[in-house]
C-alpha cells in the first residue's frame, strides 16, 4: 500500500462531494442508486487539475456520507464503499395517506444507497505524472451508457482528492469468483455467458473509439443481478473521432476453420513490421493448401472498430498483454480480443496460457511460444477453436481484427446466444444480498469484493 493512502481517512473529513442531476441514468442499477444518479462534467483547467461544471448541484458533507470498507486499490487510487446516510425525517404531511409507512419505506431505501468511490490523491498523481490517466478515466466514464459498463454518478474535486462515484458491485470480480469454483475452473456455459458479455461491452467501447487495454478477471466485476461490469479505464486509449468510423459491410463474410485436432497454433509470422500490424490492413495472404469450410450468413454486418488507431505504449498486466504490446511495434483494438482469449483460457483451465516463472519469461512466452491446451479438463472443440483464433500472435490475422465483434459473435462457440436479449440471460451466479460489515466488527477478516 502506498504511504499516501494512510492519510486518506483523516482527509475524508474535509471532502466536498458534488453531484448533479443534469443527466439521468436510463438503466436500472443494482446498488439501488438510480434515483440518485447523476454525473458531473469535469474538464481539466489550465494547470491540469479538475474542475466541476454542472447545471444543478448540491454539496454533501461527511455527515451525509460514510466511507466504511476499502474494496481494493490500484496504481492511481483506492476504491472504497461510500454509503449515503439517511437524511433527517421530514415532518409528517397531514394531507398524505399512510405518512409514517411511506416515510419509513423512503428512508429505508435511502439508507441502502451505496457507491464504489475511487479516490485519487491529485498531488501524488502529479508527482508520478499520472494526471493524464486520471483525466482519461473521467472522460471515458462520462461517455458510457451501457448495461455492462459503469455510470459516473458523481465526481468529487477537493483541493487534494479526486473521487469518482460509480456503481458498487457486490459480487466481487471474476478472479475471486473463479477461486470459489470447483477446481477453480468454470463450466463451459459459464464461460460462454461471461465471454459473451465481455464481447458486447468491448464492442460498445470500440464503437466509441476506446481501446480498453486492461481487460483481466480483476476488472470484470459481478453486479447484484449476476451480470458483469467492466471497470478501471485509466489505461484505456481514447481515440479521435476520425479513427472510429462505423460502417456496414454487405458482402464480406467471416470464415471459420473447422476445429483442429492439434493442441498448438501456428508459429507467429516473421512479418512484424509496424505497417503489418495496423488492425484494418493485412499484408498476410497465406496460400491455402485446401479449401476451408466457410459459413455464410446473410444480411449486412455492422462494424465499429477504431481501425486506424495505433499506440506504442507498454501498458497492461503481464499475463494478459498481447504480443504486439510486448514487441513494442504498435497496437490497436485487436489487443482487446487477444485478452478475451486469455481470459477464456483462464476460466476454462484455471491458469493463463503463457504464464512463466517470472515476468520476463511470461513476456517471452507471449511473443514466441505456441499455444498449448492442457489435457484436463476436456474442453469442447468449438471453445478451443475460438481461443485459437483469438490468440493468433499476428494481430492482422486475429479474429475480430477487421470485422470486430461481429466475427466473434458468429463463431460456433456462441451458437444459441441471443445477442439482442443478452441482458435477459440467466447468470450462472447471482450474489447474495449485500450486507455491510464494518472493519471494526471483523478486523481480521479480509473483505473480498474487488
Report, as residue numbers or ranges, the catalytic residues. 214
Q: What is the CA radius of gyration of the chain?
A: 23
Determine the Cα–Cα distance for residues 236 and 205; give it in Å rounded to an integer: 10
Residues 6+ apart with CB under 8 A from 107: 86, 87, 89
| Residue 224 CB neighbour total at 10 angstroms | 19
Amino acid at each position: 500500500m502506498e504511504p499516501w493512502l494512510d492519510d486518506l481517512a483523516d482527509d475524508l473529513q474535509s471532502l466536498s462531494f458534488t453531484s448533479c442531476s443534469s443527466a439521468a441514468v436510463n438503466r436500472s442499477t443494482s446498488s439501488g442508486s438510480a434515483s440518485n444518479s447523476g454525473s458531473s462534467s469535469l474538464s481539466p483547467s489550465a494547470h491540469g487539475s479538475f474542475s466541476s461544471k454542472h447545471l444543478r448541484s448540491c454539496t454533501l458533507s461527511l455527515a451525509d456520507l460514510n466511507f466504511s470498507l476499502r474494496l481494493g486499490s490500484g496504481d492511481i487510487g483506492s476504491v472504497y464503499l461510500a454509503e449515503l446516510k439517511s437524511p433527517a425525517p421530514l415532518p409528517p404531511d397531514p394531507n398524505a395517506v399512510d405518512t409514517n409507512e411511506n416515510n419509513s419505506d423512503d428512508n429505508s431505501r435511502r439508507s441502502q444507497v451505496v457507491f464504489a468511490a475511487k479516490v485519487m490523491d491529485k498531488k501524488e498523481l502529479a508527482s508520478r505524472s499520472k494526471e493524464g490517466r486520471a483525466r482519461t478515466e473521467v472522460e471515458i466514464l462520462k461517455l458510457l451508457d451501457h448495461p455492462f459498463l459503469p455510470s459516473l454518478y458523481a465526481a468529487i474535486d477537493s483541493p487534494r482528492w479526486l473521487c469518482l462515484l460509480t456503481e458498487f458491485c457486490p459480487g466481487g470480480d471474476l478472479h475471486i469468483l473463479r477461486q470459489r469454483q470447483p477446481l477453480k475452473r468454470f463450466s463451459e456455459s459459464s464461460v460462454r455467458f461471461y465471454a459473451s458479455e465481455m464481447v458486447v461491452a468491448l464492442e460498445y467501447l470500440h464503437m466509441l473509439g476506446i481501446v480498453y487495454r486492461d481487460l483481466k478477471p480483476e476488472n470484470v466485476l459481478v453486479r447484484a443481478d449476476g451480470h458483469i461490469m467492466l471497470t478501471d479505464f485509466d489505461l484505456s486509449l481514447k481515440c479521435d473521432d476520425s479513427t472510429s468510423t462505423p460502417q456496414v459491410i454487405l458482402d464480406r463474410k467471416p470464415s471459420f476453420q473447422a476445429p483442429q485436432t492439434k493442441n498448438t497454433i501456428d508459429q507467429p509470422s516473421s512479418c512484424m513490421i509496424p505497417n503489418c500490424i495496423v488492425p484494418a490492413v493485412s499484408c498476410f495472404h497465406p496460400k491455402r493448401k485446401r479449401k476451408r469450410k466457410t459459413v455464410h450468413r446473410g444480411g449486412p454486418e455492422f462494424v465499429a472498430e477504431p481501425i486506424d488507431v495505433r499506440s506504442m505504449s507498454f501498458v497492461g498486466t503481464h499475463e494478459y498483454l498481447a504480443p504486439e504490446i510486448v514487441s513494442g511495434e504498435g497496437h490497436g483494438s485487436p489487443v482487446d480480443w487477444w485478452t478475451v482469449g486469455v481470459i477464456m483460457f483462464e476460466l476454462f483451465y484455471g491458469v493463463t496460457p503463457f504464464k512463466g516463472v517470472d515476468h520476463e519469461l511470461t513476456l517471452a512466452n507471449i511473443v514466441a511460444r505456441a499455444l498449448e491446451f492442457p489435457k484436463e479438463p476436456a474442453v469442447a472443440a468449438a471453445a478451443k477453436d475460438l481461443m485459437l483464433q483469438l490468440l493468433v500472435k499476428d494481430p492482422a490475422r486475429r479474429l475480430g481484427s477487421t470485422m470486430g465483434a461481429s466475427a466473434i459473435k458468429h463463431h460456433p462457440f456462441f451458437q444459441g446466444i441471443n445477442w439482442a436479449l443478452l441482458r435477459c440471460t440467466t447468470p450462472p451466479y447471482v450474489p447474495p444480498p449485500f450486507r455491510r460489515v464494518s472493519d471494526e466488527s471483523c478486523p481480521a477478516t479480509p473483505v473480498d469484493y474487488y
